[in-house]
Amino acid sequence: MIETLLDAIGQSAVGTFIAENAVAFPWIEVAHVLSIVVVFGSILLVDLRLMGVAGRDYPPLALSRTILPITWTAFVCAAITGALLFTSNPYGYFENTAFRAKMLLLVLAGLNMLVFHLLTMRGGRVNDGPGPLPVGARVAGLLSVSLWLAVIACGRWIGFTMAPF
Amino acid sequence: MDELLQGVVNWIDTLSVHATIRDAGWVVPAVQSIHIACVALVFTGALIVALRGLELAGGHWSLARWSRYFHGSTMAALWVLLATGLVMIVAEPERELMNWIFRTKMLLVVVTLLITIALGRRLRQRGADRPAGGGVRLVALLVVLLWIGVAMAGRWIAYAG
């Protein structure tokens, strides 16, 4: 089942083009890295506020509202470019440990964000004013920074543990 | 220029630290990860300042306040970028120093840094309530585009030379 899917992806017009074109992979990778950079940098702003490390006079919900659209836009770009890179060598990526670890970390980062939004923010436990936030918010911020740093490291390790195509 | 840099490459090749970094497979990806995380700090600072200048984000703080907020982290990240960049050069001197994209990147970095520092100084001296003029917005946007150019060149070092 999975082999059929990987074969279909690898033999698709997009996959073949990215694997065979001399400049497609590097340009898509440039866009992918830039997108990840914006995802990490923008989410770090929110995480530092949650942890109470920086920007403590910026209302946390207002900060989330102004920064997270940037994060989500960059995340969508990262997901699209990442999927395109995957099509160039689906078997190679699928069997790569760093790639699998990156995907797992992304799921964990998403779950951390979901739990934080559902339990802490929607539960009304975050006061939208200046000053420190509850322990749950600080833990969510720390987890988020750690997970995204690990995502970047795994992304880099992919490049060192397999040929792109 | 090529002869001079080839001499530097040859000298680095004789250093024991070069062999140590090259032989330890984890050093370069680890250092590159730190490098990318620091690029994120610098680039996000430039991006948010530009978006605030265009009144598209961060409206609770003035442009001057955002500029002060990012000043420390940007400066710290730039020093770490220099350090991690030097480690990458020591690890693979030929790949970096003899590569025209690397040289272009360094030139872009210098130009971008000068503009970033000048813009930061000007923004931090502004009154909190003063809206950004057209010139400031344009330069803030230019800084973002220049950092994108630097990041592009950085990734292309791996593919061309």
Q: Which tens digit of pLDDT belongs to each residue from B112-155?
A: 999 999 998 888 887 666 677 888 889 999 999 999 999 999 98
* Contact predicate B29/A160, CB 8 Å: yes
Residue B95 distance to chain A (closest CA, Å): 15
Residue with tokens 């530092």: A48
Note the pLDDT tens digit of each residue in B57-100: 988 898 889 999 999 999 999 999 999 999 999 999 998 999 99
Chains A & B: contacts with CB separation below 8 Å: 84
CB contact under 8 A, B58 and A37: no
* ipTM of predicted complex: 0.89
Q: Does A66 touch chain B (CB under 8 A)?
A: yes
The number of domains in chain A is 1
| Candidates A27, A56, A156, partner chain B, best to mutate (most B CBs within 10 A) | A156
Taking CB atoms and an 8 Å cutoff, what residues of chain A touch B29? 153, 156-157, 159-160
Q: Is the pLDDT of residue A47 over 90?
A: yes
Domain that holds residue A99: 2-161
Nearest chain B CA: its distance from A79 CA (Å)? 17
Indicate the helix (H) or strand (E) that contains A102.
helix A97-115
Q: Say if A52 is an interface residue toward chain B (CB within 8 Å).
A: no
Return the exposure string of A37-52: e unless at least 16 CB atoms fall within 10 Å of the residue's CB, then b.
Answer: bbbbbbbbbbbbbbbe
Inter-chain residue contact B33 with A156, CB threshold 8 Å = yes
Q: What percent of chain B has pLDDT over 90?
A: 71
A29 shares contact with chain B (CB less than 8 Å): yes
- Mean of pLDDT values over A49-59: 89
Hey, are the CB atoms on B156 and A159 less than 8 Å from each other?
Answer: no
Q: H or E element: which one contains A5?
A: helix A2-11
Q: Which residues contact B122 (CB under 8 A, 6 or more apart)?
A: B136
Contact by Cβ (8 Å): A109, A29? no
CB A17 within 8 A of CB A24: yes
User: Which residue in A38, A44, A159 is closest to B47 by CB distance?
Assistant: A38
Query: How many CA atoms does the CB half-sphere of B149 hold within 13 Å?
Result: 18
Query: Helix A135-161 crosses helix A24-51 at what angle (to 10 degrees)?
Result: 160
CA distance A107 to A153: 16
Q: Of B102, B122, B125, whose CA–CA distance to B114 is shortest?
A: B122
Question: pLDDT tens, A56-93?
Answer: 888 888 898 899 999 999 999 999 999 999 999 999 99
* Of the partner residues A38, A149, A156, the one whose CB lies closest to the CB of residue B32: A156
| A128 has pLDDT over 80 | no
| Interacting residues of B131 by C-beta distance below 8 A, sequence separation 6+ | B55
Distance from C-alpha of B138 to C-alpha of B143, rounded to nearest angstrom: 9
